[in-house]
Amino acid sequence: MMGGFTQFVPEAALLVPVPVALLLGSRLRERWIAWLAMISCGVAGVSAWYAPTMLDQASAVTTTLDTTAGAARLAICVLAALWLAWVAARGAGAERSGEAVGLALLSTLGGLLLASATDLVVAFVAMELTVLPAYVLLGYSRHDVPVLKGVLKQMTRSALASMIALYGISFLYGLTGATSFEGIATSLPEAGPLGATGAILAVGGLLARLTLLYRCASARSGVAGSSVFTAFVASVPAFSMSVFLAQFLSQALTVRSLQTILVAGAVFCLAVGLYVIVREQEPRELLAGAGTVHIGFLMAGLAVLVAASPGSSIDAVPVQVSQLAVVAPRVDALVIYAFTYSIAALALGLLLAGTEGEGPRYGRRLAMRAAAVLLASLAGVPPLAGFAGRWLLLRSVHEAGFGWLVATGVAVSIVSAWYVVRAALSRAGSAEAQATAEEERITGSGPGGWLSEDRLSLSLAVSAVLVGGAVLWVFWF
Amino acid sequence: MSVGPGAFLALAAVLFAAGLYGAVARRGPLAVLMSLQMMAIAVNLNIVTFTRFVTPAEQAGKLLPVFSLTVAVLHLGLGVALVSGASRRARSVQRGSAGPAGAGER
């Protein structure tokens, strides 16, 4: 009996500071609340990592704590703790930031549940728990009418995607009589074309929702006026949804036509993302383009998780235990790729937040170089974190027999890396950057404190290199 | 005369399609939110039909509509809050005031 409760220790640890943040957020200093939340994230991360060893798996009906889920939960806590460390050191730059910390904790809690869900009811509730506070956070940041309208537009689109996914889930439930991944995998082959259509609607809605989270990083979404919060939205909830999609597709869905649709979607997203990167020069737009390319790579990784042999039939096929064993390493590769992208996107979003609303301070030399390193990581330049994750993902796609998709991915990576590096170098040589450097030389090196912009930039860039090196070392050697 | 599950599923499909059209085609935020509610009702009708006719013993079929409706209402509440926030702010800008103390200054 205790095993069932032990599983939820990380969630309980995250819940502890939430009442403090929500009820006393306007009275206490936001940084104290952020420190408290960061400590609870640390406790949650450690307990998430050790929970599988304490858990009686038989008591876990709607969630799983296998190694992949445990590592993903730890990664979610790490991402949230990094964001909270920023808020603790530099503030969120918004009114009632203490309450914003509470909302971020709720979103993280939903992400933890989502990453380990093996039942569609739990997954649906967890997904809403992680996404809805994220949109509230985006609306929290400003009182500008355009920003509020932008958040409303993104939120209604997200709700539309949620309804489409839920409509598909209703067919999956009705035709298989189950909401657990195992039950769906067992009964889906007998559900016929309607069951396969339900699966396609469900995955399509979930992917649309995930895409909208990355879309918030774009200036054209109308909500990009608050990078601190967009950085959070594009990391914690988006990573949690990526992990859930990987688990859902690998364990429950065996629909042949889904694989074809995902591959086509991957090629489309890679093309659109590359188009954005080639056309744009601004870091935030480059981040949005990199997000679209990332969705393309994610779809390629998800396509090879569908445990089905190639074919043209829309019907689902019976799942084989041997197929599950084959796709398990591919799930790991996809989760690692999603994490390496999320951590670089979070770091770049926070770096942009540090220069937000203060004119051309992107030209600050070290911050600019760190942003260039992070953008290069997002574009997949070796030996950075982004390259390591992308290499693992493309290796699993190649093993699944999609050589042409790997070639497309490599080509997109090379071209996008070239354009990203070129954009970064052109900014470095601009008159604006040189003027800012001259201003720095005269006035000093920017804001002080233990987390000064210089130290922060340097540590973010170095971590991008170190994470990439660590992943490559573990998986190559 | 008894009505089979097909009729309910067809009704749900019509409702869902109408809601989808409204959510995509309408530009007013409140009309979009109402269309989303129509889609949520269609989804619930689907689930209740399946639970009644196909899997009457399944507990998840009784839980899922409750969660689904709750989430739909949450979407509606958040949407209305954002609409009212935006319109209130727009009115205060039109009056030439800066709104509540400190609001929008950051």
State the smallest CA–CA distance between residue B36 and chain A in angstroms.
6
Per-residue 3-state assignment (H helix, E strand, C coil) for chain A: CHHHHHCCHHHHHHHCHHHHHHHHCCCCCHHHHHHHHHHHHHHHHHHHHHHHHHCCHHHCCCECCCHHHHHHHHHHHHHHHHHHHHHHHHCCCCCCHHHHHHHHHHHHHHHHHHHHECEHHHHHHHHHHHHHHHHHHHHHCCCCHHHHHHHHHHHHHHHHHHHHHHHHHHHHHHHHCCCEHHHHHHHHHHCHHHHHHHHHHHHHHHHHHHHHHHHCCCHHHCCCCCHHHHHHHCCHHHHHHHHHHHHHHHHCCCEHHHHHHHHHHHHHHHHHHHHHHHHCCCHHHHHHHHHHHHHHHHHHHHHCCCCCCCCCCCCECCCCHHHHHHHHHHHHHHHHHHHHHHHHHHHHHHHHHHCCCCCCHHHCHHHHHHHHHHHHHHHCCCCCHHHHHHHHHHHHHHHCCCHHHHHHHHHHHHHHHHHHHHHHHHHHCCHHHHHHHHHHHHHCCCCCCCCCHHHHHHHHHHHHHHHHHHHHHHHHC
Confidence (pLDDT) at A322: 56
CA angle A334, A339, A341 (to 5 degrees): 95
Whether A224 has a pLDDT exceeding 60, the answer reads no
Residue A240 is predicted with a pLDDT of 94
A139 touches chain B (CB under 8 A): yes
Q: What pTM was computed for the model?
A: 0.86
Cβ-nearest to A170 among B47, B72, B93: B47
Q: What is the pLDDT of residue B15?
A: 94
pLDDT at A54: 57
Does residue A250 or residue A461 have the better pLDDT? A250
Contact with chain A for residue B43, Cβ under 8 A: yes
Please say if the pLDDT value at position A44 is more than 80: yes
Contact residues on chain B for A121, CB-CB shorter than 8 A? 60, 63-64, 67
Average pLDDT, stretch A204-226? 77
Averaged pLDDT score across all residues of chain A? 78
Query: A357 pLDDT exceeds 50?
Result: no
Report which listed range, A185-189, A229-233, A364-368, B38-42, is most confident: B38-42
Distance CA A273, CA A296 (A): 8
Which range has the worst mean pLDDT, A93-97, A245-249, A343-347? A93-97
Comparing A354 with A289, which gets the higher pLDDT?
A289
Query: CB–CB of A148 and B85 under 8 A?
Result: yes
Name chain A contacts of B19, Cβ cutoff 8 Å: 163
What are B58-89's pLDDT values in tens digits? 777 788 888 888 888 998 998 888 888 888 77
Where are chain A's structural domains?
A: 6-354+363-439
**Which chain B residue has its CA at the smallest distance from A155's CA?**
B79
- Identify the H or E element spanning B5: helix B5-25
**Bond prior to B100 in cis (omega within 30° of 0):** no
Each residue's pLDDT tens digit, A403-456: 889 999 999 988 888 888 777 777 666 656 566 656 655 555 444 444 555 566
Taking CB atoms and an 8 Å limit, are A124 and B64 in contact across chains?
A: yes
Pair A69, A247: CB distance under 8 Å = yes
pLDDT band at A108 (very low <50, low <70, confident <90, very high): very high
List the single range of A329-333, A418-422, A465-469, B44-48 with lowest mean pLDDT. A465-469
Of residues A125, A136, A167, nearest to B67 (C-beta): A125
Range B5-96 classified under CATH 1.10.287.3510? yes
Please, what is the end-to-end C-alpha distance for chain B in angstroms?
65
Contact status of A135 with chain B (Cβ, < 8 Å)? yes
- The confidence band for A311, taking pLDDT boundaries of 50, 70 and 90, is very low
Residues 6+ apart with CB under 8 A from A63: A7, A69, A113, A116, A117, A118, A119, A122
